[in-house]
A = this chain, B = another copy of it.
Amino acid sequence: MKKDSAVELSGVKEIARRANVSIGTVDRVIHNRSGVSEKTKQIIQDIIKELDYQPNIMARRLASNKVLNFAVLIPAVSDETEFWAAPLNGIEQAENEIRQYGIKVEKYYFDLNDKQSFVNLTKQILKTAIDGVLLAPSFIDESLAFTKQCDQLKIPYVLINSDLPKQDSLCYIGPELFHSGYLSAHLANYAIKDNGKVLIINISREIDNHHHLLRKEEGFRAYFDDHDKKLTIVKDDIRQTDYASVASSLKELLKAHTDAEAIFVTNSRVVSVARYLQESDHQKVLLIGYDYLKDNLAYLKDGLIDFLICQKPQEQGYKGIMALYQNLVLKVDVEKNYFMPIDIITKENYQFYRN
């Protein structure tokens, strides 16, 4: 029952004692509710500042029996969008950690092939009472419409994986694409002789987030420009993403460019290139691609893929939820732009990597 008197006690009770008021009044000031005279309000606020009062979060969440509802709107995971399994994983991890604090996370998955599914889900979300949103804005215009409504309803939202320019989001968490391409070029450069040749391969359907791939390509090219490297860059777009189609495209491409020393694949479909190289028994080329996925790792291990660039997709989901939590529960400011590190994964370090 006794508290060590040496313990510096803060808390509303101490504030109330010093201000000669009841804790009720202090409470009113803290939540600036009405019903307190300017004078006592000032006194209390001064004391709060002096004591540097930090409310006890646990007691607060215990007492206020409120539940905060977060909505998550991200692409569904499929064979074609395996990437999104990782952010989802991170989201669920965060969910488990903060469930204790009265946070509920409702997840909505849209079809990356179906804009309408996205729109429908945004409508559905807005019908429910939510306190925060985590959004992967794959469809730009539709996302803008959604975030606009969130702004009106004063619902904070966090964007992950791709940004929406000039939006009033709480923050953006995701990759900085240009530099990942730029870095890839640096790595590729070790294999490219002067006047050598490098291939850039985009393997994606129209629907995919094309802007992403373009930025990476820009970064890749910029490196060689900046370093006055003389070389030939050949770029190919492959629009059919099934393996058979990719293989036949590659066959032609590689026949035309037998002298290519390095290949840069702008996304995780580097796996198809690796597979083709292996099956066709192609001579060794430096191969760089994206993402820490199981299939990719297999080829990394085999030495067909030299470098995988990865930007912690799982942590993107984790940080996204945590940003909402920190803002809404802890009332802390969060970084406006949280760019994920650009990690280089090789045969030698992949086993220690954490998504």
Chain A residues within CB distance 8 Å of chain B = 3, 56-59, 61-62, 65, 100-101, 176, 179-180, 182-183, 186, 190-191, 223, 339-344, 346-349, 351-354
A179 and B56 contact, CB distance less than 8 A: no
> What are the residues of chain B within 8 A of A339 when measuring CB–CB?
352
- Known: A190-B190, A341-B353, A343-B343. Is A348-B179 also a contact (CB below 8 A)? yes
- Known: A190-B190, A341-B353, A343-B343. Is A348-B182 also a contact (CB below 8 A)? yes
Query: Which of the residues B186, B343, B352 comes within 8 Å of A176, measured between beta carbons?
Result: B352
A-B pairs with lowest CB-CB distance, top 8: A190-B190, A58-B58, A183-B348, A342-B349, A344-B344, A341-B352, A182-B348, A183-B349
CA distance A341 to B65 in the complex (A): 40
Main secondary structure, interface of A, reads: mixed
Query: Which of the residues B100, B182, B183, B340 comes within 8 Å of A56, measured between beta carbons?
Result: B100
> What are the residues of chain B within 8 A of A354 when measuring CB–CB?
341
> What are the residues of chain B within 8 A of A340 when measuring CB–CB?
352
A100 and B183 contact, CB distance less than 8 A: no
Write the nearest CB–CB distance from A308 to chain B, whole angstroms.
Answer: 12
CA distance A226 to B130 in the complex (A): 56
Determine how many copies of this chain the complex contains: 2
> What are the residues of chain B within 8 A of A347 when measuring CB–CB?
186
> What are the residues of chain B within 8 A of A56 when measuring CB–CB?
62, 100
CA distance A339 to B354 in the complex (A): 10
CA distance A101 to B65 in the complex (A): 19
CA distance A339 to B101 in the complex (A): 30
Q: Beyond A223-B348, A341-B352, A342-B352: 9 further Cβ-contacts under 8 Å?
A: A3-B65, A58-B59, A179-B348, A179-B351, A183-B348, A190-B190, A339-B352, A342-B349, A344-B346
> What are the residues of chain B within 8 A of A348 when measuring CB–CB?
179, 182-183, 186, 223, 342
Query: Which of the residues B57, B179, B352 comes within 8 Å of A352, measured between beta carbons?
Result: B179
- A sample of 25 inter-chain contacts (CB < 8 A) reads A3-B65, A56-B100, A58-B61, A58-B62, A58-B101, A62-B62, A176-B352, A179-B348, A179-B349, A179-B351, A179-B352, A180-B349, A183-B348, A186-B346, A186-B347, A190-B190, A190-B191, A223-B348, A341-B343, A341-B352, A341-B354, A342-B349, A343-B343, A344-B346, A344-B349
CA distance A339 to B351 in the complex (A): 10
> What are the residues of chain B within 8 A of A61 when measuring CB–CB?
58
Write the nearest CB–CB distance from A309 to chain B, whole angstroms.
Answer: 9
CA distance A223 to B179 in the complex (A): 29
CA distance A179 to B353 in the complex (A): 12
Closest to A339 in B: B352
